[in-house]
């Protein structure tokens, strides 16, 4: 449970491009602790929801196969400067985080 979600959203020619960076360890559950040999429990983001003006533009379902500190970029039609983008993730341990940004 660390950090926040960095979001940058830019609109150009009627299409908004969103880039985001989440802070998460993304453990697959397959790795072992090198010193103790104990398996490291799975801990990864399972679901990411992106909203624009309270409307869901994209839902992502992830496995532990997404890299640590995930990067996600997507695009949607529409979007005006100053409108809000909201990104929420939920992981397999029930933790969650939400970040918002304004379109520039």
Partner 1 sequence: MIDAKRRTLLKGSLGVSAIGVAVAAGLLTPGTVLANWPKAAFAATDTDAALKDLLGSASTENSDQVKIKAPDIAENGAVVPVTVESDVEGAKSIAIIASGNGTPLIASFDLGADAVPFVSTRIKMAKTADVVAVVQTESGLLSAAKPVKVTIGGCGG
Where along the sequence are the contacts to partner 1 (CB under 8 A)? 1, 15, 28, 30-32, 34, 40, 46-47, 49, 52, 55-68, 70-78, 88, 90, 93-96
Q: Give least dist CB 19 to partner 1, A.
A: 8
Q: Give least dist CB 104 to partner 1, A.
A: 18
Q: Which is nearer to partner 1, 65 or 82 (CB)?
A: 65
**Mind giving me the DSSP string for 79-96?**
--TT-EEEEEEEETTS-E
Q: Give least dist CB 99 to partner 1, A.
A: 15
End-to-end C-alpha distance for the chain, whole angstroms: 28
Q: Which is nearer to partner 1, 63 or 104 (CB)?
A: 63
d(CA 85, CA 8): 9
Q: Which of 1, 11, 91, 17 is closest to 49 using CA atoms?
A: 91
């Amino acid at each position: 449970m660390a950090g926040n979600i960095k979001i940058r959203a830019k609109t150009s020619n009627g299409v908004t491009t969103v880039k985001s960076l989440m802070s998460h360890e993304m453990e697959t559950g397959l790795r072992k602790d090198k010193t103790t040999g104990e398996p490291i429990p799975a801990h990864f983001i399972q679901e990411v929801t992106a909203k624009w003006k309270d409307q869901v533009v994209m839902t992502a379902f992830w496995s532990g196969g997404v890299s640590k500190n995930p990067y996600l970029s997507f695009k949607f039609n529409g979007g005006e400067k100053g409108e809000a983008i909201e990104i929420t993730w939920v992981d397999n341990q029930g933790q969650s985080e939400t970040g918002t940004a304004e379109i520039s």
